[in-house]
A and B are shown apart, each in its own frame.
Chain A
Amino acid sequence: MPEKEKPRMPIESGCPDGWQYMHPALRKNYGMWDYHDRPRPGVLHHVSKTGDEIWTVRVGTQRILDVFSLRTLMDIVDEKGDGYVRFTIRSNLEVTVTDKSRVEPLIQAMEDAGFVVGGTGPSISTLSHTQGWLHCDIPGTDASGVVKSMMDELITEFKREEMPNRVHITTSCCQINCGGQGDIAINVQHTKPPKINHDLVSNVCERPSVVARCPVAAIRPAMVNGKPSLEVDEKKCICCGACFPPCPPMQINDPEHTKLAVWVGGNHSNARSKPTFQKLVAAGIPNNPPRWPEATAIVKRILAAYKKDARDWERMSDWVERIGWPRFFELTELPFTKFHIDNWRGARQSLNSSTHIRF
C-alpha cells in the first residue's frame, strides 16, 4: 500500500490536561483560594490566600454555537479579558480577569454583542440542554427551541439574583431524560404505545434485545403477516419509548400524543438535605413548537409561587418539603390527579403513613 493511503492510527491521548489552558492566576493559586463573594449578578470574585484576586464574568449563550458566534466571544475575551475561558456544566461561558477595572467593559462588550451576563447565585441559570430534533435519533421534541423560548421569558431572572436560591431547569426530549434532574424539568411524556411497522422489524431490530429492553415485559415476539415481528400488549405498555432506540420501526413519537410533563424538586446537592429526585407535577402539556407557550406558562407559574413563598436558601425541594405537596398544588393551581400517585417499585415509600397533615 502506498504510504499516503495508509490509514492513520489514532493517538489515544484521552482527556487533555486542563492545566495548559488554565488562566495563569488559577494555576498560581491552585488549591489556595480563601473565599469568594459576588459583587454583582453575573460576577464571581475569588480571593486567594496569597492575596491574589480574580473576577469571573458568567455569560449565557445559545449553546449551539456557530463558528461566527464562537469567534465573536473569543474576540471579546481577547480584547476585554485575559484570553482564558471555561464552560460551566450548564454551558455558560466563564471569563476570568485579574484586574477589577476590566469587569464592567467586559460585561458591556458581551451585552453589546447580544450575549447575556448572569446565572450566578440565586438566579435562574441556563436551562440544561439536550439535542432534540436538531440531531437526536429518538427525540419527541426539540431542545434548542424549548430552551430558547423559555430563556426569552426567564432572562430577567438570569440577570438578577432575586430567587430564593439557585434554580436549575432541565429539558429532555425523551423519557431517557439525558437532561437529568432539575429544580424544574420539562420532559417528554408519551401517551400512546408505539406504532409498529411490521414490515421492517425483522430486518432492523434484534428482537430478543428489544423484548429485554421493556421495563414492564409488554413486548413479545410474534408473526405478523407471515413475517417475524414484535407485538406490544397495549394494556401493559407504559409508553416509555424504551423500545424505540433499539428498534426504530416501533415509532413512539407522535405529533399529537407525545406530550410534555413538568417535574419539580430534583436537587443534586448535599446541602441541607440529601440529594433528591424530581417529582411529577404536571402532564398532558402540548408539544407545541416553535415556542411551546403552554409549557412555559406552567414553568413560570411554578417559579412565581416559589419566588413568592420560599425562604432564602430554600431550593425548590426544600420549599416543598417545608410547605408540603398539598400546598404546592394549591399555590400553583395545578390539578392533583391519580397519576401523581406512584405505582412503580418503591412506591410505598412515597405514601404518607402518618397523621402529619397541614390544614
Chain B
Amino acid sequence: MTIEARKTPMLDQLEEGPWPSFISGIKRLRDRHPDQRINEVTNDLLGQLEHSYNTRLGYWKGGTVSVYGYGGGIIPRFSEVGDMFPKSREFHTLRVQPPAGNHYTTDMLRQLADSWERHGSGLQTFHGQTGNIMFIGTTTKGTQHFFNEINEYGWDLGGAGPCVRTAMSCVGAARCEQSCANEMKIHRLLVNNFTDDVHRPALPYKFKFKVSGCPNDCQNSIERADMAVIGTWRDDIKIKQDEVKAFVGAKGRRYVIDNVVTRCPTNAISLTDDDQVVVDNRNCVKCMHCINVMTKALSVGDDKGVTVLIGGKRTLKIGDLMGTVIIPFKKLETEEDYEGLVELAEETIDFFAENALEHERTGEMIERIGLVNFLEGIGVEVDPNMVNHPRQSSYVRMDEWDAEAEKWFRRKSEEKSA
C-alpha cells in the first residue's frame, strides 16, 4: 500500500543547493523504505515540520519516558498537533553514549542502523551537542525495544536531565601528535565511574565532563564542561632545528616572524640569525600556537599531564562562565594518579549535589559561594594559577593572614623536599 505524501512546498526548497539535504533523506525514508511504518512516520514528521516552517513555531512537548531500570537517557517528544500528524505523534529520541573518541567500524554502524529501522524512524545523528548518538524518533514501546536490542551488544544510554551527562573526548593519542594524555582512558574512567548518576537524574542540574588532549581544546571543554580535563606538559617544547631551517626555507623568514614569533602570547620564542628557534620555556604558557604552525619542527614536551578546570557553562541562568583552573598540573601515569583524578570528580560532584541550588550549574554555584569556599569544600589548596591576578578590592576580612601565610610556606617546603 502506498501512502499519500504530504505536500511540503517550504521544505522542498531545502532540497535545492549543493550541500547534502536532510529533507531529501527524510523523503527517501518516506518514499523508498520497505517498512510502511517508517513511510508513515516520516510522512507525518515532514508534515509537522512543514507546519512549523509555515507558522514559525515548534510543536513538540516533553514528558516522562524512560526504559525499565533507568530514569533518563530519553528525550520524550509528544506532538501538540498529533491529531493532524498522528503517525509521528510520539517521536522520542534515545541518547546513546558513543565510544570514547567517536570511533566506529562500518559493521557496527550497519548493525545500529539495522536495529534502529526495526524499532525507530531510521533517522540518526552523529552526534548531538552533548556528544550522544541521537536516534531520533520512536514510540514509547519502540524506545524499550531498541534499547534492549542495542544494550545487548554493548551500547548504553547517555544522560538527560539533571544528571552526569555523556562525556566527550577528542581523537587524541589515536591520531594526533599533539596529544598529551590518554584521552580515552580519562573519558571512560570519569564518566563510567558515575554510571548511576548518568542513568538516574538526581543532581541539582547537569554535570558534564569533556577531555581534550592538548590546550587547543578541540572539545570546547573550558567553555562547555563542568569539569574540563586538558592535556599539557611542563618541560621544554621539543625542537627539530633541521626542520625549523626547512620550514624557514620553504615559507621565508618574514612568514615565520609574522606568524610564529610575534604571535607568541608571552614573547617566549625567537628566531636566531641562523634560523634556529629558541624558546624561553619558563615563560611558555603552552598555548600551542607555534606547534600548530610548525607541525614538523616543534612538538609538545615529554613531561606530560593534565590541567583541570571546573565550572564552564553557557548562558542560563547568570550568563556564560568559563571553567576555572582547579588543578594546574597533574601527572597521569600510575593507576593511583588516575584514581586521584576520579576522586577529584567525586569530591566535586558530591559537593555540587549537596550545595548547589536547584537548576544551578557547578560554575554558578562557585560564583555564588566564592572559589575559596568551593576549594575548601573539595579539599584543594589555593594556587596562584587559579587567578588572572590577585584581589583588587580591600573589602575583605583577613584575621587569619599569618596562619594562611604559614600554610603556604609549609606547602612550598614540603614540595621542595618531596
Contact = CB atoms under 8 A, between A and B. Distances in A.
Interface in B319-361: 319-320, 322, 357-359
A220 interface: no
Most chain B CB atoms below 10 A, which of A19, A74, A271: A271
Interface stretch (A136-144, A226-234, A327-335): A136-144
Contacts of A68: 25, 28-29, 32-33, 122
B295 interface: yes
Interface string B31-56: 01100000000000100010011011
Nearest to B78: A137
A212 B265 CA distance: 42
A23 B192 contact: no
B384 interface: no
Interface string B95-113: 0011111111111111001
A10 B93 contact: no
B289 A268 contact: no
A8 B148 contact: yes
Interface string B73-110: 00101000000000000010100011111111111111
Closest 10 CB pairs of A and B: A152-B17, A66-B25, A133-B52, A255-B56, A18-B99, A33-B177, A270-B215, A14-B192, A151-B19, A62-B20
Given A176-B316, A177-B315, A291 B14 contact: yes
B227 interface: no
Contacts of B316: 175-176, 215, 240, 242
B109 A272 contact: no
- Give the interface centre of B68, B126, B137, B296 by most chain A CB atoms within 10 Å: B126
A23 B75 CA distance: 32
Interface stretch (A79-87, A99-107, A300-308): A79-87
Contacts of B167: 15
A29 to B, nearest CB: 8
A26 B175 contact: yes
A116 interface: yes
Nearest to B169: A18
Given A10-B156, A64-B136, A177-B314, A54 B288 contact: no
A275 interface: yes
B166 A15 contact: yes
Nearest to B194: A14
A219 to B, nearest CB: 12
27 contacts: A8-B68, A10-B70, A13-B155, A16-B155, A18-B103, A21-B105, A22-B174, A31-B173, A37-B295, A64-B136, A67-B33, A74-B110, A84-B103, A87-B126, A88-B171, A89-B220, A130-B129, A135-B60, A176-B316, A177-B314, A209-B358, A209-B359, A248-B61, A271-B287, A271-B292, A272-B265, A289-B56
Nearest to A168: B220
Contacts of A46: 175-177
B56 A22 contact: no
Contacts of B67: 10
Contacts of A130: 129
A77 interface: yes
B182 A114 contact: no
A70 B56 contact: no
A67 to B, nearest CB: 4
A196 interface: no
B295 A179 contact: no
A253 interface: yes
B29 A66 contact: yes
A39 interface: no
B127 interface: yes
A114 B113 CA distance: 20
B223 interface: yes
B58 A138 contact: yes
Contacts of B259: 311-313
B110 A60 contact: no
A255 B55 contact: yes
A258 interface: yes
B386 interface: no
A180 B13 CA distance: 27
A85 B106 contact: yes
B198 A74 contact: no
A7 to B, nearest CB: 4
Interface in A179-229: 179-181, 209, 212-213, 215
A10 B49 CA distance: 34
B294 to A, nearest CB: 9
A272 B29 CA distance: 47
A138 B57 CA distance: 9
A34 B11 CA distance: 47
A101 to B, nearest CB: 20
B176 to A, nearest CB: 6
Contact of A62 (B21, B61, B113): B21
A27 B16 CA distance: 41
A67 B117 contact: yes
A336 interface: no
A15 B192 contact: yes
B13 A12 contact: no
B369 interface: no
B10 interface: yes
B75 A135 contact: yes
Given A15-B99, A67-B117, A86 B171 contact: yes
A60 B20 CA distance: 8
Interface string A287-316: 101110000000000000000000111000
